[in-house]
Structure 1
Amino acid sequence: MIVFPGWLYTVAEIVTWFVIAIGLIQILLYIVQLGFAAIALHRRPAMPPTEVLWDRYADLAPPIAVIAPAYNEELTIIESAEALLALHYPEFEVLVINDGSKDTTLARMIQHFDLKPVHRYLDLAVTSQPIRGLYANPAYPRLLVIDKENGGKADAMNAGINVARAPLVCVIDADTLLEPDALIRVVRPFVEDPIRTVAVGGTIRIANGCRIEHGRLIEARLPRNLLALFQVVEYLRAFLMARLGLSQMQTLMIISGAFGLFRRSSTIEVGGFSHNTVGEDMELVVKLHRHMRDRKRDYRIAYIPEPVSWTEAPESLSILANQRARWQRGSLETYRKHGDMFLNPKYGRIGFLGFGQVWVVDVIGPIVEVVGYALVPPLWLLGLISVEYLLAFIAVVFTFGVFISVATLVLEEIQLRRLKNARDLATLTVAAIAENFGYRQLNNFWRLRGWWQFVRKKQGWGTMVRKGFQRP
């Protein structure tokens, strides 16, 4: 048996304790979010049918401009545009922004909708690359296609904000499919609390495996691809637990750029979407928090679970790894730009709870967890820590991870009942357990890769190959 110096045992115990402590803090945060999410779902009124919402809000709902940036989206752009034009909402406009695509995205739109060049006043309120042309057809009065020089997703959304005339802008991905009543549901906070509400987020679900026809989801199904199935569990946990809980706590730090509704004037006040980050959706929400609190305004940024959009999830390890590394990089870039808000009493619960979560989960979380994987088992094998430390680490990594995932599924089934049969619930339960044994560890290594890209100041989104929403 190897005998090590006493100080080495002390260092090993301190490192192990730190890893376990950070893990326990993360779990505590998740349990608190789960509790607040359960309270929010329990208190929420019964979800009314679309017809009731229409009767209640149609005369009060403000106009919305739906902004859909598109870059090389030739596979999905027509069905996505048709689905957007078929939304059930009193007054809205669909702005499809072709961000200098290198494929036939623009040509397909022009040909399919028989579009012609038009002129329109542009309010250059936020920065974007030059617009090369606007295209429309009187037969489709709600559709306007904007062709611009390539500048990235944030730049494209800024161009849409400049062209938009509605007081509210809904930002989505061009490959996102909104349910027909998504707008009338997501606008509710703006109707019920029009003075304070500045941004609202809805739910995003995985479309892989679903039956989709003509840009509309006909039947929700679970994906057959294992990676996509794990992402179904992740998205449920991220939206139904984390964002709903944080919204209830009034510390929501992100509204997804794939489906979010913003007050146009407030978005312009903070300069629109920032160009120097791949996490522009999170950074915009943080800028809104900062702006409102700096000016001591009473405001509301909320998430509500009922409006649903559907998106295609990566089904290959390489593409998923790029996506998760990019998400991690975006969180770190936002933290670097607004790190002075962390623990700053001036920003209240946003500085303490909101940024506290960002620091624990996004900034040091992946580093600490990967260090735990790499060090704790070898330290136990070498006899530098006792078996109790190893068991505590295993409990933090696996046991509590399984609990949080399964508890989210239970909450979803009790409150929303979106799963159509017991078989789907059983499948997701197995996936929620299995993801903690391999997939979660891979995720943390991908996030560590994002950390490395952040340190190296890497820019750009990387490759995102999509299959498109295929008709059966």
Structure 2
Amino acid sequence: MIDIVRTLVATLLDLLAWPILIYFLAINSSYLFLVLAAAADFRSTRRRRRHSGRIERLGSHTAPGVSVVVPAYNEEVGVVEATRSLLSLRYHRHEVIVVNDGSKDDTLGVLTRAFDLVRADREVPSEIETRQVPRGVYVPRDGYTRLTVVDKPNSGRSDSINVGINTAVEDLVICMDADSLLDPDALLIVTEPFADDPRRTAATGGVVRIANGCTIRDGRIVDVRMPRNLLAQIQALEYLRSFFLGRSGWSKVKALILISGAFGCFRRDLLVEVGGLDPDSIGEDFELVMRLHRLLRERRQDYQVTFVPEPVCWTEVPETLTVLRKQRARWHRGLWETLVKHRVMFGNPRYGRAGVLAVPYYWFFELFAPLIEAVGLVLMVLGFVLDLVNPTTFWLFLAVAYGYAIVVALTAAAVDEVYFSRYNRLGSLLSLITSSVAENIVYRQLHVIWRLQGWWQSLRGSEQQWGAMTRRGFKTEETV
């Protein structure tokens, strides 16, 4: 038996060893390129900032109005503080729309008591088809607080956002989660591209950072620190590298195809035109942006989808392996289903840089990454144990696959510190450095397994499982 295994492993190593090494070299180099592209963009943005007219727009009535749509399901713990925070954002004209998605807890009750809500005689339009219709619309009794709470039967996050879009009255719509907080100037900054180029700008995305470990006062982050939980620390580094700098890099090369569902801003007319979010998609945010690209490219309209690196949305992340596993499996399943649904874009010049650059990248370096990494790691370890791989080749593999990844992570942390200095305490910086190493030991291998599970669930057509995350909520003077 051992001879058969040795022969099989030796054959596979002969075929795949160097291609896998080259793959890891390419994927880590691509991450480094995106980080450096983001750094170049930050540098030019910093030079333009003093001439942006941001302060003038704060009181300008010519800037577009914003509707902030917040779906809420069983969010009684933090929904009031989150809503107050959104209402107090510095912007000349914005409304907050909370859509209670048939919560089983007291979400609607705590909102009613906190804001003295009364039922409004208001009909919600049906420009976007929805699975459920509102059973009640509530507004503050004072008549001037721009808050609307829509109560509806449970039908999921996407359908709730679509109800919120139908309810919205402003030109721009921001979709975010009830468990998130925005920086005070977030609306002002994320809408800058719309104010600067209203004809071409279709959507913008902002930064999502981790609130775990931070101190919150009156719905504001007042003290930024790295989380105490190691799992959350690793995610902070992930968000920094992939969800912040990675998307900044894609925006720089004008091929951004993914905006985080926790903080995205869209033209309302385009959302209505594409039919809102797809309730059947488990990767609904990614799928929406892909659909926008297809719509605008197919009708030959000049447009841009932009990532804005300064406005920050703060959110809690899982601190247990069980919850994180379900989240990452769901994300990878959503990636697979979205890429398959929009496979016509793959390498197709008709869809510009999104089709030629971004979509193939997501296929090769995001979708297939866990499969290739799993095969490469298993083959190299077996080859080393069976004395089929010499120590030099084995350590070269580890250096290219994991050592290079640590360098990329540290580079991302350095870029963030130079331009934004969010984690300016020595302890937080040391945590980032420690996390860059810890991420590649055990966690990364678990992450490979979780993503493969999501892929397998999709291939089997198993029922979508969103899972649940226990929230602490954003309380005054609380360290989350």
The answer to whether TM tops 0.5 is yes
Question: What does 1:17-56 correspond to in 2, within 5 Å?
Answer: 17-46=18-47, 53-56=54-57
Residues 172 and 268 in structure 2, CA contact (< 8 A), matched pair in contact too = yes
Q: Give the Cα separation in 2 of the matches to 1:352 and 1:313.
A: 33
SS at 1:45 equivalent:
helix
- Residue of structure 2 in register with 1:426 after alignment: 430
Question: What does 1:14-413 correspond to in 2, within 5 Å?
Answer: 14-46=15-47, 53-59=54-60, 60-128=62-130, 129-139=132-142, 141-413=145-417
Q: Give the Cα separation in 2 of the matches to 1:269 and 1:322.
A: 32
2:460 is the counterpart of 1:459: no
SS at 1:305 equivalent:
strand
Q: Give the Cα separation in 1 of the matches to 2:135 and 2:34.
A: 46
State the Cα distance separating 1:421 from its structure 2 match: 2.5
State the Cα distance separating 1:407 from its structure 2 match: 0.3
CA RMSD, Structure 1 to Structure 2 (Å): 2.1
SS at 1:464 equivalent:
coil
Q: Give the Cα separation in 2 of the matches to 1:8 and 1:220.
A: 49
Cα distance change, pair 96–47 in 1 and its aligned pair in 2 (3 A): farther
Q: Give the Cα separation in 1 of the matches to 2:229 and 2:364.
A: 31
Q: Give the Cα separation in 2 of the matches to 1:453 and 1:172.
A: 27
Q: Give the Cα separation in 2 of the matches to 1:368 and 1:39.
A: 31
State the Cα distance separating 1:2 from its structure 2 match: 5.9
Deviates further, 280-289 or 434-443: 434-443
Cα distance change, pair 141–469 in 1 and its aligned pair in 2 (3 A): closer
Amino acid at match of 1:124: S
State the Cα distance separating 1:31 from its structure 2 match: 2.0
Q: Give the Cα separation in 2 of the matches to 1:444 and 1:386.
A: 25
Q: What is the aligned-residue identity percentage?
A: 41
Q: Give the Cα separation in 1 of the matches to 2:224 and 2:153.
A: 37
Residues 244 and 303 in structure 1, CA contact (< 8 A), matched pair in contact too = yes
Unaligned runs of 5+ in 1: none
State the Cα distance separating 1:354 from its structure 2 match: 0.7
SS at 1:435 equivalent:
helix
State the Cα distance separating 1:126 from its structure 2 match: 1.2
Per the normalisation by structure 2, the TM-score is 0.94
Cα distance change, pair 5–146 in 1 and its aligned pair in 2 (3 A): closer
Cα distance change, pair 360–151 in 1 and its aligned pair in 2 (3 A): same
Give per-residue Cα distances to partners, 1:271-328, cap 9 Å, x unaligned.
1101111211111111111111111111000001110111011111101111111111
State the Cα distance separating 1:246 from its structure 2 match: 0.3
Cα distance change, pair 325–63 in 1 and its aligned pair in 2 (3 A): same
Question: What does 1:4-19 correspond to in 2, within 5 Å?
Answer: 9-19=10-20
Q: Give the Cα separation in 1 of the matches to 2:8 and 2:460.
A: 35
Residues 70 and 174 in structure 1, CA contact (< 8 A), matched pair in contact too = yes
Per the normalisation by structure 1, the TM-score is 0.95
Deviates further, 3-12 or 284-293: 3-12
Give per-residue Cα distances to partners, 1:195-236, cap 9 Å, x unaligned.
100100011111111111232222112211111111111111
Cα distance change, pair 239–3 in 1 and its aligned pair in 2 (3 A): closer
SS at 1:66 equivalent:
strand
Q: Give the Cα separation in 2 of the matches to 1:377 and 1:45.
A: 46
State the Cα distance separating 1:56 from its structure 2 match: 3.8
Residues 240 and 412 in structure 1, CA contact (< 8 A), matched pair in contact too = no
Deviates further, 22-31 or 141-150: 22-31
State the Cα distance separating 1:16 from its structure 2 match: 2.2
Amino acid at match of 1:98: N
State the Cα distance separating 1:468 from its structure 2 match: 1.6
Residues 204 and 239 in structure 1, CA contact (< 8 A), matched pair in contact too = yes
Q: Give the Cα separation in 2 of the matches to 1:302 and 1:223.
A: 29
Unaligned runs of 5+ in 2: none
State the Cα distance separating 1:109 from its structure 2 match: 0.9
Give per-residue Cα distances to partners, 1:95-132, cap 9 Å, x unaligned.
00001111111111112212111122422111222111
Residues 13 and 385 in structure 1, CA contact (< 8 A), matched pair in contact too = no
State the Cα distance separating 1:54 from its structure 2 match: 2.8
SS at 2:160 equivalent:
helix
Give per-residue Cα distances to partners, 1:318-363, cap 9 Å, x unaligned.
0111111111111111111101211122212211211112112222
Q: Give the Cα separation in 2 of the matches to 1:226 and 1:44.
A: 33
Residues 176 and 263 in structure 2, CA contact (< 8 A), matched pair in contact too = yes
SS at 2:440 equivalent:
coil
